Amino acid sequence: MLAACRRQPTDSTPVWFMRQAGRCLAEYRELRRKYDILTLAKTPELCAQVTLMPVDALGVDAAVMFADIMLPLGGMGVEFFIEPEIGPIIPHPIRTRADIEAIRIVEAEEATPFVFEAIRMVRRELAGRAALIGFAGSPFTLACYMIEGRPSRDYAHAKRMMYGEPELWHGLMAKVTEVIVRYLRGQVQAGAQVIQLFDSWVGILGPDEYAEYVLPYSRRIFSEVKALGVPTIHFGTGAASLLELMAEAGPDLVSVDWRVRLDEAWERIGHDRGIQGNLDPAAMLAPWHYVEKKALDILRRANGRPGHVFNLGHGVLPDTDPGKLRMLVDLVHESTSRSKEEGV
């Protein structure tokens, strides 16, 4: 995994899945009957347990920390909770200058010590079996949640501030960016070996808006994290029109969804950086022959070029058969085995 992130040759194409920690696994569902998501994420022993589940169950090449992108908000003084079937809810949205001025910037160890303790536990348990991925939500996505107060279809409140009160927008983005830099630095210092930045809502923007209102902040995050010596991945949903700009932000890999062909996306971001993706998560609900066909097509488009990490185009769906995920991991590994290709 780490070699692929650095575009170095690998024995086979590495595989992991967004939202692999939990969701479709029976062991995770058993825990969820006892604990809510935030309790799992904030209890290091439980967080580590969930994070490690797919490494053994699915044979993936990386563990990704079980967490929620909203966790840093608590240290900022922004109250939130997770409403089942809806998502994050912020009772008091951030919409005025006073709201932004009230946001606190504290050391990450003070705000989210449970995250870093869980990372240390997972690294000890992994003992080199798989790489450990840490992550954060992007400043843009977090700012959207903070302004809207809940998931939205059009993010009208956020865009109203962005376009109508740009000074407030940039003030908020600067604060959120500083918090995320500290949060990710803490994850790396605790033992995270790769960092992924999730820009879940960036697809609502056009290229010009992204360049003006988002790119400077994403660029700072990647610059700060790369200075720590770990590879970085930039993921966005519905962001086919933004791929070149997302690459310009400075990640080592750009993670693409299924709405763009992998080889075409790689041409656009440049072969001087890696790519991650990009099977439609819903494909995993189809018969195996369809999954196999689509996965092999993605591998064909990657063409054995160093720097490809196989993943879904977004998170694992809850109804996905874990056995089929394991078959997919085996398929990717066996189809791209370098020893097989070399006749060893």
* pLDDT tens string 271-327: 999 999 999 999 999 999 999 999 999 999 999 999 999 999 999 999 999 999 999
pLDDT over 50 (residue 328): yes
- pLDDT score recorded for residue 339: 56
Spatial separation of the C-alpha atoms in residues 66 and 50, rounded to whole Å: 7
Residues 87-111, mean pLDDT to the nearest whole number: 97
Spatial separation of the C-alpha atoms in residues 215 and 152, rounded to whole Å: 22
- pLDDT score recorded for residue 160: 98
* pLDDT tens string 220-268: 999 999 999 999 999 999 999 999 999 999 999 999 999 999 999 999 9
- Annotated active-site residue 268? The verdict is no
Burial class (CB in 10 A: 0-12, 13-18, 19+), 106: middle
> What's the CATH code of the domain at 319?
3.20.20.210
What's the CA angle centered on 100, arms 97 and 102, to 5 degrees? 110
pLDDT over 80 (residue 340): no
User: Token pair of 307, please?
Assistant: 């720097």
- pLDDT score recorded for residue 290: 98
Cβ atoms < 10 Å from Cβ of 34: 9
Burial class (CB in 10 A: 0-12, 13-18, 19+), 342: exposed
- Average model confidence (pLDDT) for the chain? 96
- Annotated active-site residue 150? The verdict is no
Task: Tell me which residue of 41, 39, 27 sits closest to 69, measured CA to CA.
Answer: 41
- pLDDT score recorded for residue 344: 39
Looking at the structure of the chain, the number of domains it has is 1
* pLDDT tens string 2-34: 999 999 999 999 999 999 987 899 999 999 999
Say what the pTM is.
Answer: 0.96
Residues in a beta bridge with 7: none
Catalytic hit among 28, 61, 145, 183: 145
- pLDDT score recorded for residue 343: 45
- pLDDT score recorded for residue 338: 77
Catalytic hit among 32, 120, 259, 326: 32
Spatial separation of the C-alpha atoms in residues 292 and 95, rounded to whole Å: 47
- pLDDT score recorded for residue 101: 98
- pLDDT score recorded for residue 313: 96
Contact 91, 149 (CB under 8 A): yes
The one-character DSSP state at 188 is H
- Annotated active-site residue 219? The verdict is no
Catalytic hit among 23, 95, 182, 273: 23
Residues 144-164, mean pLDDT to the nearest whole number: 97
Burial class (CB in 10 A: 0-12, 13-18, 19+), 337: middle
Could you tell me the residue range of the domain that residue 62 belongs to? 2-341
Task: Tell me which residue of 234, 187, 252, 251 sits closest to 3, measured CA to CA.
Answer: 252
Alpha-carbon torsion (107, 123, 38, 228), positive or negative: positive
Residues 35-48, mean pLDDT to the nearest whole number: 97
User: Token pair of 329, please?
Assistant: 């991991």
- pLDDT score recorded for residue 85: 87
Kindly state the percentage of the chain with pLDDT values over 90: 96
- Annotated active-site residue 23? The verdict is yes
**3-class DSSP assignment, residue 286:** coil
Of 152-156, 188-192, 285-289, which range is least confident?
Answer: 152-156
